[in-house]
Amino acid sequence: MKKILVTGAFGLVGADLVPALSEKYGKNNVILLAHKTVTKVPFNIEKGDVRKKPQLEKIIKKHNIGQIYHLAGLLSVGGEKNPPLAWDVNMNGLRTILDLAVRYRCRLFWPSSIAVFGPTTPKINTPQRTILEPTTIYGTTKLAGELLCRYYHQKYGLDVRSLRYPGLIGFNAPPGDGTTEYSVHIFYEGLLKNSYVCFLKKDTRLPMMFITDAIKGTIKLMDARSDKISIRTSYNFSAVSFTPQDLVKEIKKLLPGFVCTYKPDHRQKIADSWPKSINDRVAGKDWGWRHEYDISRMTKEMLDKLRLKLKIRVNKV
C-alpha cells in the first residue's frame, strides 16, 4: 500500500493521530515529518521543513506517499507573537503541500479552526456557511487556507479534506499556550497542585472536543468516499461547549479540594471573538460524524490518563 505522511506529528493532534494511524495501517506505513532531530521515537521519521518543496518531494517519492495529514503550523497565540512567521509557515507550508499533493495524487487532510470565525459571526449554533471575518493572523491563515484548498480541488481535482477544529483537549502532548488550552493545563495543575489560575473568564463559553473524538472524526473523514464530501473548504466540527466554571464543577466531582481562580489575560480578547457553539449537521449528513464524549466522560478520562502519565496514585489526590 501507499504510505501516509504526517507533518506536525508531535503536536496535540499528531500525538494521538500517529498511534491511531499506525494501529490502523501498520507502523511502517506511517512516516513522520519533523523540523528538528527527534530521537527515541518508535516511528519512521524524516527531518524537513514544510516550506521547502525539494525536501518534501524527495520524502514523498522515497516512501511512495499516498495520503498526507498536514498538521504543521503556528497556532493562535504563537501567531500573534510573530505574524510574519505565522503567515510564512501556515500559508507557504500549505501551498507547498498542496502542489506536491497534486503532483503525486495524494489525498490530503489539512486542519482549519474555529479561528476563521470572528465578532460578526453568529455566536450560537454557528452554521456551516456564515460570515468569516477572523481577528487573528492564525484565523486569517486558516480562512485563506480554506479558500486555497477549495481552489486546488476545483482547479486540479485534488482530493483535499478539512475540519474546523474546536478547542481540543488531550493528554499525550504537553499543553501549549493556545487560547483554549486552559482546558488542558487545568488537569495537570489540578493533579499536581490541586489548584489552577485560569487565563479566561469563568463564563467564557467555547466549542470544545476531547482528542479521542477529534482523531476518530479526522480518520472517518479521510476514509469517506470522495463523492460524500460536499465541503472542500472545511467542515464545521463540534462536540460540546462549556465554560471554565463548567469544567471546574466536573473536576471537583473527582478532585473535591480543587480550587480555581481567574485572571484573564490577552487570550480573553481572542476567545471573545469566537463562537460559543457550532452547528456541524453537514458533517453528520455527509459522512456520519457524531461525537461520543461529553464533559463528564472527558473529565474522568483526562484525570485517569494523566494520573498514569504523571505517576500519581489515586489515594494522593
- Summarised one tens digit per residue, pLDDT across range 172-212 is 998 888 899 999 999 999 999 999 999 999 999 999 999 99
Q: Is the pLDDT of residue 142 over 60?
A: yes
Q: Is the pLDDT of residue 315 over 70?
A: no
Cα dist from 50 to 68, 164, 281, whole Å? 12, 21, 33
- Structural domains in the chain, CATH included, are 3-167+210-236 (3.40.50.720), 169-207+239-278+292-316 (3.90.25)
Q: Is the pLDDT of residue 81 over 90?
A: yes
Residue 77 pLDDT class (50, 70, 90 cuts): confident
Q: Which residues are catalytic?
A: 138
Give the length of the chain. 317
In this predicted model, what pLDDT tens digit does every residue of 156-174 receive, in sequence order?
999 999 999 999 999 999 8
Average confidence score pLDDT of the chain: 96
Q: Is the pLDDT of residue 256 over 70?
A: yes
The reported pLDDT for the residue numbered 85 is 96
Residue 316 pLDDT class (50, 70, 90 cuts): very low
In this predicted model, what pLDDT tens digit does every residue of 23-46 receive, in sequence order?
999 999 999 999 876 766 788 999
Q: How far apart are CA 162 and CA 149, in angstroms?
A: 9
In this predicted model, what pLDDT tens digit does every residue of 281-295 receive, in sequence order?
999 999 999 999 999
Strand, helix or coil at 67?
A: strand
Taking residues 64-76, what's their average pLDDT? Answer: 96
Q: Is the pLDDT of residue 317 over 60?
A: no
- Find cell 493545563 and name the residue: 185
- Find cell 469517506 and name the residue: 224
| Nearest in space to 277 (alpha carbons), one of 87, 123, 91 | 123
Q: How far apart are CA 145 and CA 147, in angstroms?
A: 5
Q: Which residues, in sequence order, are CB contacts of 271 under 8 Å at separation 6+? A: 179, 180, 200, 204, 206
